[in-house]
């Protein structure tokens, strides 16, 4: 048994660190470090910089222009980016729709979509949840009906909680092409250009005051049949494949370590609190999570399989992220009642009190979503009890 990284892995880690230090766009870093909001252009600059380094296809095979990294390298990459406090890389294009396209799409589709995803010329969003279909995603109702000439689908319905749809060029949607007795059948995976007539994006403002998610309405939206990925009616299989692809990184060990270190520094300057003990408990939790993730990596690297137990990463990872923001609120004391809104206080009339309290509550409120999205933590526990415990 050997828990240390190999020499090659350590060299790789140093390369990632060096990029983060020298080539991570300075204007993005400055805003990120000062908790200022990023514009769409900032996000594009950041992703294009990652792309220029050749790291955009971090989980893709080499033949499609990906890095072909081992699971350990991917882990190191995620952790170092998190530790450096970079914005999370947008998963919708590169790690969600792209693996579905290169695994189930045809050659034309691969040629049409993959290069733009790799260069971040297109911004993707995910059309999964619907007002009536959350945890029970397979009950979705957005309809795709083929025209008589068989050349188009006409799409009608509504998607919701669509992250950053206001910025997106494309949306990948689960749609119902057939009503079947088994709801998982009859679902098809269709790519839709957001500029197509009949699409309306309406903001949903969340409790932290942010506009991050949206409702997306489809009224007689005409989409070429060429935009269907794989076979009609097999969309659910592709969606499940996509979820399996998403598990790593979801533990957010790097980002949580960074937040933990900041919290330790804050607590060392505070008197008369019980923060130290709480932070220590959290540090041990985070340690346990990291080693759990490494055990799964080790299985993968040694020819094994990782199954439903990877839901542990989602559950514990989000619990730790939430707890970190809770302790940040606690360390703000009475200053936690100040509300700067999503875009911070103006620069001229900042209130007195500790800097870190300015966005503590916003972050706390924002992190509530993590135990709800991507399959709520209750659903994750159902998955473990069904597929791991066998009950």
Partner 1 sequence: MNLNFSEEQVMLKETIQKFCDNDYDFYKREEVIKSENDFDLNTWNLFAEQGWLSMPFSEDSGGFGMGPIELSILFEEFGKALVIEPYLSTVVLSGTLIDNSSYEHKKDIIERICSGSLHISLAYAEAKNSYNYNLPSTSLSSDLLLNGTKNLVLNGGNANKLVVSCIYNEELALVIVNADKDGISMNTFPTVDGQSCAEITFENVSINSEDVIGTGDNAITLLNNSISLATLCVSAEAVGCMSSCYLKTVAYTKEREQFGQPISNFQVLQHRMVDMFIESELCRSLLIKAMLEVDSGSDDMHKHVSGLKAQIGKSGKFSAQQAVQLHGGMGVSDELMIGHYLKKLIVIDALFGNTDHHLKKYAQ
Nearer residue to partner 1 within complex by CB, 130 or 246: 130
- Is 115 a binding residue for partner 1 by CB under 8 A? The answer is no
Angle of helix 40-52 relative to helix 26-33, nearest 10 degrees?
130
Burial of 181-193, coded b for 16+ CB within 10 Å and e otherwise, reads: eebebbbbbbbbe
Q: Which of 334, 347, 390, 391 binds partner 1 (CB under 8 A)?
A: 334
* Cα 370 versus chain centre, distance: 10
Min separation Cβ 346 and partner 1, Å: 10
Nearer to partner 1, 57 or 340 (CB): 340
- Asked if residue 53 lies in contact with residue 227, where contact means CB atoms within 8 angstroms, the answer is no
Q: Per rule CB under 8 A, is residue 332 in the interface with partner 1?
A: yes
Question: Of residues 57-96, which lie at the interface with partner 1 (CB under 8 A)?
Answer: none
- Is 389 a residue that touches partner 1 (CB under 8 A)? no
Kindly report each contact of residues 186-189 with a partner whose C-beta sits within 8 Å and lies 24 or more positions away, as own/partner. Answer: 186/233, 187/138, 187/140, 187/233, 187/235, 187/236, 187/239, 188/144, 188/228, 188/232, 188/233, 188/234, 188/235, 189/100, 189/104, 189/228, 189/229, 189/230, 189/234, 189/235, 189/238, 189/239
Kindly state whether residue 378 participates in binding partner 1, applying the rule CB under 8 A: yes
For residue 159, give every residue at least 6 positions away whose Cβ sits within 8 Å of its Cβ, in sequence order, or none. 127, 128, 129, 130, 142, 171, 173, 215, 216, 218
179 lies in the site for partner 1, by CB under 8 A: no
Which of 78, 129, 166, 256 binds partner 1 (CB under 8 A)? It is 129
Binding range to partner 1, per CB under 8 A, among 13-21, 50-58, 72-80, 325-333? 325-333
By CB under 8 A, is residue 372 in contact with partner 1? yes
Of the candidate residues 70, 121, 206, 298, the single one contacting partner 1 (CB under 8 A)? 206
Please report, as residue ranges, which positions from 130 to 149 form the binding site for partner 1 (by CB under 8 A). Answer: 132-136, 139
Rank residues 290 and 330 by Cβ distance to partner 1 and give the closer one.
Answer: 330
Residue 142 CB, nearest distance to partner 1 (Å)? Answer: 17
Which helix or strand (DSSP H or E) is residue 363 part of? helix 360-367
Between 30 and 205, CB nearer to partner 1: 205
**Exposed/middle/buried for residue 284 (C-beta within 10 Å: 0-12, 13-18, 19+):** exposed
Which of positions 338-367 make contact with partner 1 (CB under 8 A)?
Answer: 338-341, 345, 349, 351-353, 361, 364-365
Residue numbers at the binding site for partner 1 (CB under 8 A): 129, 132-136, 139, 160-161, 204-207, 209, 213, 270, 272-275, 326, 329-330, 332-341, 345, 349, 351-353, 361, 364-365, 368-369, 371-373, 376-378, 381
């Amino acid at each position: 048994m050997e828990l240390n990284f190999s020499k090659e892995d350590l060299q790789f880690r140093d390369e990632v660190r060096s990029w983060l230090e020298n080539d991570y766009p300075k204007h993005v870093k400055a805003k990120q470090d000062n908790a200022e909001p990023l514009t769409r252009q900032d996000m594009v600059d950041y992703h294009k910089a990652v792309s220029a380094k050749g790291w955009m296809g971090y989980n893709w095979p080499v033949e499609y222009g990906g890095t072909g990294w081992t699971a350990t390298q991917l882990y190191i990459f995620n952790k170092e980016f998190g530790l450096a406090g970079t914005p999370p890389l947008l998963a919708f294009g590169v790690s969600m729709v792209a693996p579905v396209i290169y695994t189930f799409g045809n050659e034309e589709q691969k040629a049409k979509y993959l290069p733009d995803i790799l260069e971040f010329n297109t911004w993707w969003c995910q059309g999964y949840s619907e007002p009536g279909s959350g945890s029970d995603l397979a009950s979705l109702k957005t309809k795709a009906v083929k025209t008589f000439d068989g050349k188009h689908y006409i799409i009608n319905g509504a998607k919701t909680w669509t992250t950053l749809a206001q910025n997106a060029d494309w949306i990948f949607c689960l749609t119902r092409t057939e009503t079947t007795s088994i709801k998982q059948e009859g679902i098809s995976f269709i790519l839709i250009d957001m500029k197509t007539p009949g699409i309306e994006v309406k903001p949903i403002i969340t409790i932290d005051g942010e506009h991050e998610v949206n409702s997306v309405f489809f009224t007689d939206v005409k989409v070429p049949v060429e935009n269907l990925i794989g076979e009609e009616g097999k969309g659910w299989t592709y969606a499940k494949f996509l979820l399996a692809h998403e598990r790593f990184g979801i533990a957010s060990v790097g980002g949580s370590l960074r937040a933990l270190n900041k919290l330790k520094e804050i607590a060392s300057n505070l008197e008369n609190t019980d923060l130290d003990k709480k932070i220590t408990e959290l540090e041990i939790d985070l340690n346990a999570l990291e080693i759990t993730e490494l055990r799964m990596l080790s299985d993968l690297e040694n020819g094994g399989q990782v199954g439903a137990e990877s839901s542990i990463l989602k559950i514990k990872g989000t619990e730790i992220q939430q707890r970190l923001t809770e302790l940040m609120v606690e360390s703000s004391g009475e200053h936690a009642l100040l509300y700067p809104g999503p875009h911070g206080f103006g620069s001229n009339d900042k209130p007195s009190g500790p800097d870190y309290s300015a966005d503590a509550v916003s972050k706390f409120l924002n992190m509530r979503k993590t135990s709800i999205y991507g399959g709520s933590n209750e659903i994750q526990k159902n998955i473990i009890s069904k597929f791991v415990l066998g009950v």
